Amino acid sequence: MNQLFKHPEFRRGIQDMSSVAVGISAWGLMTGVAMIKSGLSLGEAVLMGVLVFAGSSQLAAIPLIASAAPMWVILATSFCVNLRFMVFSAHLRPYLMHQPLWRRLISGYLTADLNYVLFTTRYPHPGADATTIGAQDAYMLGNCGLGWLSWVSASLLGIALANAIPTAWGLGFAGILALVGVMCSLASSRMRVVSAGVAGAAAVAAFALPLKLNILVAIAAAVAICLMLERPALGKSEHVR
């Protein structure tokens, strides 16, 4: 492990993440403020900020918790918001299977959206030799480590200064911009662009639904349209064969 900290790619991972760390910190700061102002106790907010480490699902769950929504709604919303990590995990599996279980668990915990995008941009394919694998591990450690530190430290600062920072400042918009950047970078095919557009339109159309259920509607609409578009494409490919 010590060799990873000394590897040049560890510093490269930190350097790449530093370009978006300000947006992550601003988002984490406002999430910390929102947790306290939603009625969570200091202990609950600290534990959620450190252990959950999932900004989008935290922001989706906080108003539901504040409105005393049923537990199944909170869990279902958080689950659906984080479904994208199943795709990320499947893609990153070949990169990480050489690691022991405890390291894979830590890597999974530390990897967020921007970490995934930056890592796969830097390394489009899994390493085939020990040198490249070591470089990938070092880059991921530096990249994910700074991302986690930026989020958690800012979140704890927001918790501590919750009564001094008004939510009207709208600093969380920096995090939204970061996610928009992630979405645009991942929209690399026509189907992904269509699914993003459908999800956005569905979320806006169902905005009036209570308990943030428009998020679930958006996800369901995007999945449904992709399945409908994918079947004809598969049929054509099989016909060509």
CA proximity to 32, closest of 13, 14, 16, 55? 55
Q: Give the per-residue pLDDT at 153.
A: 94
Q: Give the per-residue pLDDT at 180.
A: 73
Measured CA to CA in angstroms, residue 204 lies from 73, 78, 212 at distances of: 19, 19, 11
Burial classification of residue 114, based on how many CB atoms lie within 10 Å of its CB (0-12 exposed, 13-18 middle, 19 or more buried):
buried
Q: What is the pTM of this model?
A: 0.74
Asked if residues 143 and 21 have their Cβ atoms less than 8 Å apart, the reply is no
Instruction: Name residues whose C-beta falls within 8 Å of residue 24's C-beta, 6 or more positions apart in sequence.
Output: 114, 147, 150, 151, 154, 175, 178
Q: Give the per-residue pLDDT at 103.
A: 92
Q: How many CA atoms are closer than 13 Å to the CA of 205, on its beta-carbon side?
A: 11
Q: Give the per-residue pLDDT at 141.
A: 94
- pLDDT per residue rounded down to tens, the chain (241 residues): 678 888 999 999 999 999 888 878 888 888 888 888 888 889 989 998 888 888 778 878 888 888 888 888 888 888 877 877 888 888 999 999 999 999 999 999 999 888 998 999 899 999 889 999 999 999 999 999 999 999 999 999 989 988 887 666 655 565 566 667 667 766 778 888 888 899 889 989 988 887 667 877 888 888 888 888 876 654 555 555 5
Q: Give the per-residue pLDDT at 185.
A: 67
Asked if residues 183 and 218 have their Cβ atoms less than 8 Å apart, the reply is no
Q: Between the CA atoms of 157, 162, 168 and 170, what dihedral angle is there, to the nearest 10 degrees?
A: 20
